[in-house]
Amino acid sequence: MASTDIVTRELENPIDVAEYLFRRLREVGIRSVHGVPGDYNLSALDYLPGCDLHWVGNCNELNAGYAADGYARVNGISAIVTTFGVGELSALNAIAGSYSEFVPVVHIVGQPTTQSQKDGMLLHHTLGNGDYNVFSKMSAGISCFVAHLNDQHDAATLIDSAIRECWIRSRPVYITLPTDMVATKVNGDRLRTPIDLSLPKNDPEKEDYVVDVVLKYLHAAKNPIILVDACAIRHRALDEVHELVEKSGLPTFVTPMGKGAVDETHKNFGGVYAGNGSNPGVSEAVEASDLILSIGAIKSDFNTTGFTYRIGQLNTIDFHSTYVRVRYSEYPDTNMKGVLRKVVQQMKPLNPASIPSLTNQLSPREQASSDQTITHNWLWSIVGQWLKPKDVVITETGTANFGIWDTRFPSNVTAISQVLWGSIGYSMGACQGAALAAKEQKNRRTILFIGDGSIQLTVQELSTILRNNLSPIVFVICNEGYTIERYIHGWDAKYNDIQPWDFANIPKVFGAKENYQGYRIKTRDELNKLFADQEFNSSDKLRLVELYMPRDDAPAALKLTAEAAAQRNG
Ligand code: TPP
């Protein structure tokens, strides 16, 4: 008798590995699973309906990976299933993006049987050299945990560890599931105890010490401010941030990657800080501060307008998920959540400096203009007036994710943008995933701004959107090609041109009928009218708007960032 059979007989409540895995995914809040089928994952996918999980069915694995990323940013965590070799490798650009931007995605790969792997069989989707580890080695560098489910004894433990690591480190994990392991039994009684998703507590002595040091500088500062960045969102420290903003009354700013982290209608909100590309008046206020409470910073080139911050480390306290840095001293193993909570509790009343006035209004010159051209200078503040509370707003790498810096959000908006990884086409997939998660949460609109170049990479996800009855509003910025690239290099170069597509008709090719409405907008009046149109605003159809903008126009922050990038590229 094989040893696995003995183990199975000893289990009181045996369940199949695939069922165990999917029930755990559901337990942590996943309702839909992205991916593409293949013969090495088909039998696993059979378990999804029984575990009350919806199969999305993407057009390709890259898009599925982007969609899983978008779903996780709205839902908290997501899962994607791919098939060995051909499928998983197609997803890797997306998974790398999730790793880079701290997005928790569980990547499950269906593999050939454990025996074929041991025998090094010459199977389809291999390199033909018997190496079955080559692909998992590729994924290891872009995953915070790797679990090979090839043994009945530790499969359940590995699944629990992978999901926990994914959640607490907020990064992708990689799980392999060979076909012969799908129906192998594990101990179902384990499911009675939920996976522990709590963060390891800071050592209280260390935490108290850091809190004392932070408070010493905070109480001594004359005009401290708060600057919130991406990792405050990604490491789920927003409750602590909101309490700090509320209790301290300090002027509060966000970076481009931190957009959506704080309520932009709050009286303390001062705008976007990004060095030279900051909202008007913001860099003066931030750079004059003698203490910046910097929460979850990612000081990348595109998040800082080409490294143009002018704030010294001597005036900064950095809060991160694994350490706090006060001026030049680093305190390891101190998670910002615990430290911030105590800082808020123990803080004495402060005397906040005044907050720069930030309006959602166009400059008087723009308001007076009779020009009908939809320029970036005009568009993005108008968008802010049109958005509604709780909207999910996605902007693609290009003019859109710089333009959004000038949009002042209503409350509870979730902003999605891949500022650090910057893989074009991302936002179309992310839009599908985000729209699905937003639908599961009910009453949230999903709105995408994407360039006419970027959408050409992943346009098929409009088909997945239709197939899943989703109804995002997609604005395609039609500006004759790769405008962001033109600003960096090759203004008139052929390589920055694209084939113009009939975007508004594409959904029809994908089978759209009365569940779709297309629009073509060329003037400011037309856009104002569209934004005021009740049906456009509240319909449950997919809406795609071709938004015509000049080829050579870009938001001011993009021009500055592109100049810096061009210089660095030599
Ligand atoms: N390929 C990938 C996968 N990612 C990239 N970032 C690039 C290439 C380089 N790239 C960055 S932006 C861009 C390209 C090709 C053009 C984007 O053009 P478009 O979507 O039309 O945006 P616009 O600036 O015109 O708004």
Query: What is the model's pLDDT at position 449?
Result: 98
Whether 6-192 and 204-346 share one fold: the answer is yes
In the numeric block, the tokens 């999804």 are attached to 48
Question: Is residue 244 within 8 Å of residue 317, measured between CB atoms?
Answer: no
Q: Is the pLDDT reported for residue 500 higher than 90?
A: yes
Q: Which residues contact 480 (CB under 8 A, 6 or more apart)?
A: 452, 497, 498, 500, 551
Average confidence (pLDDT) over 161-176: 98
563 compared with 60, residue with greater pLDDT:
60
Q: State in Å: Cα 454 to ligand 1 middle.
A: 6
pLDDT tens track for 270-286: 999 999 999 999 999 99
Q: Specify burial of residue 450 (Cβ count, 10 A radius: 0-12, 13-18, 19+).
A: buried
Residue 363 CA to residue 406 CA, distance in Å, equals: 12
What pLDDT, on a 0 to 100 scale, did the predictor assign at position 10? 78
Please check whether residue 422 is in contact with residue 396, taking contact to mean a CB–CB distance below 8 angstroms. Answer: no
299 within 8 A of 291, measured Cβ to Cβ:
no
Q: Coil, strand or helix: which one is 452?
A: coil
| Sheet (strand 105-111) strand order | 54-55, 32-35, 78-83, 105-111, 173-178, 146-148
Name the residue ranges covered by the structural domains of the chain: 6-192, 204-346, 364-569
| Per-residue model confidence (pLDDT) at position 366 | 73
Mean pLDDT of 458-471: 98
Could you report how far apart the first and last alpha carbons of the chain are, in Å?
Answer: 68
Nearest atom, ligand 1, residue 498 CA: 21
Is the C-beta atom of 150 inside 6 A of ligand 1? no
Mean pLDDT of the chain: 95
Give me the catalytic one of 125, 154, 301, 360. Answer: 125
Which band of pLDDT confidence, cut at 50, 70 and 90, is reported for residue 393?
very high
* 144-148: average pLDDT: 98
Give the per-residue pLDDT at 30.
Answer: 98
Which amino acid is residue 55, in one-letter code?
W
Name the phi and psi angles at 317, rounded to 5. -115, 120
Candidates 3.40.50.11540, 3.40.50.1220, 3.30.360.10, 3.20.20.140; correct CATH number of 204-346? 3.40.50.1220
- Which pLDDT score, from 0 to 100, does residue 1 have? 45
Tokens read off for 510 = 């994908």
pTM, full prediction: 0.97
| Residue 339, phi-psi category: left (phi > 0), alpha (psi -120 to 50), beta (remainder) | alpha
What secondary structure does DSSP assign to 168-226, as a single string?
HHTS-EEEEEEGGGTT-EEEGGGGGS----PPPPPPHHHHHHHHHHHHHHHHH-SSEEE
12 is catalytic: no
CA of 554 to the centre of ligand 1 (A): 13
Mean pLDDT, residues 415-428 taken together: 98
Q: Are 234 and 297 in contact (CB under 8 A)?
A: no
Instruction: Read off the pLDDT of each residue in 519-535 and give the average, rounded to a whole number.
Output: 97
Q: Of the candidates 556, 553, 560, which has an alpha carbon nearest to the alpha carbon of residue 374?
A: 553
Q: Is the pLDDT of residue 2 over 60?
A: no
**Mean pLDDT along residues 289-314:** 96
Answer yes or no: are the C-beta atoms of 202 and 333 closer than 8 Å.
yes
Give me ligand 1 centre to Cα 483, in Å. Answer: 8
Res 357 pLDDT > 90: no
**423 Cβ inside 6 Å of ligand 1:** yes
The percent of residues above 70 in pLDDT, for the chain, comes to 97
Instruction: Give residue 567's pLDDT.
Output: 86
Ligand 1 center to 451 CA (angstroms) = 8
> What fold characterizes domain 364-569?
Rossmann fold (3.40.50)
CA of 63 to the centre of ligand 1 (A): 16
> Of 185-194, 359-368, 379-388, which gets the smallest average pLDDT?
359-368
Taking the CA of residue 454 as reference, the ligand 1 atom at the shortest distance is 20
Ligand 1, residues 484, 495, 561: which to mutate, most atoms within 8 A of Cβ? 484
284 in active site: no
User: Which structure tokens are listed for 309?
Assistant: 């911050």
Give the pLDDT band of residue 102 (cuts 50, 70, 90).
very high
Q: Which of 19, 452, 461, 546 is catalytic?
A: 452
Q: Give residue-wise pLDDT tens across range 246-272.
A: 999 999 999 999 999 999 999 999 999
- Asked if pLDDT for residue 361 goes beyond 70, the answer is no
Q: Is the CB of 507 under 6 A from ligand 1?
A: no
The answer on pLDDT for 402 being more than 90 is: yes
Question: Annotated binding site: which residue ranges?
Answer: 452, 479, 481
Give catalytic status of residue 125 as yes or no: yes
Average pLDDT score over residue span 182-200: 97
- Please give the annotated binding residues for Mg(2+), written as ranges: 452, 479, 481
Band (358; pLDDT cuts 50, 70, 90): low
The pLDDT > 90 percentage for the chain reads 92
What is the arithmetic mean of pLDDT over 277-303? 95
287 assigned to active site: no
Among 236-240, 434-438, 564-568, which is the least confidently predicted range? 564-568
Does residue 560 register a pLDDT over 80?
yes
pLDDT band at 367 (very low <50, low <70, confident <90, very high): confident
Residue 315 predicted with pLDDT over 60: yes
Higher pLDDT, 172 or 1: 172
Residue 473: phi, psi to the nearest 5?
A: -105, 120
Does ligand 1 have an atom closer than 6 angstroms to the CB of 422?
yes
Q: What is the mean pLDDT of residues 1-25?
A: 83
Ligand 1 centre to CA of 397 (Å) is 6
**553 CB within 6 A, ligand 1:** no
Q: Among 92, 485, 496, name the best residue to mutate to test ligand 1's pocket (greatest count of ligand atoms within 8 A of Cβ).
A: 485
- What is the mean predicted confidence (pLDDT) over 353-371? 71
Give the CATH number of domain 6-192. Answer: 3.40.50.970
Tell me, what's the pLDDT at 264? 96
How many other CB atoms are there within 10 angstroms of residue 44's CB atom? 25
Q: Which has the higher per-residue pLDDT, 2 or 21?
A: 21
Q: Is the CB of 479 under 6 A from ligand 1?
A: yes
- What does the pLDDT read at residue 4? 63
Pair 554, 399: CB distance under 8 Å:
yes
* Closest C-alpha to ligand 1, atom 15: 482
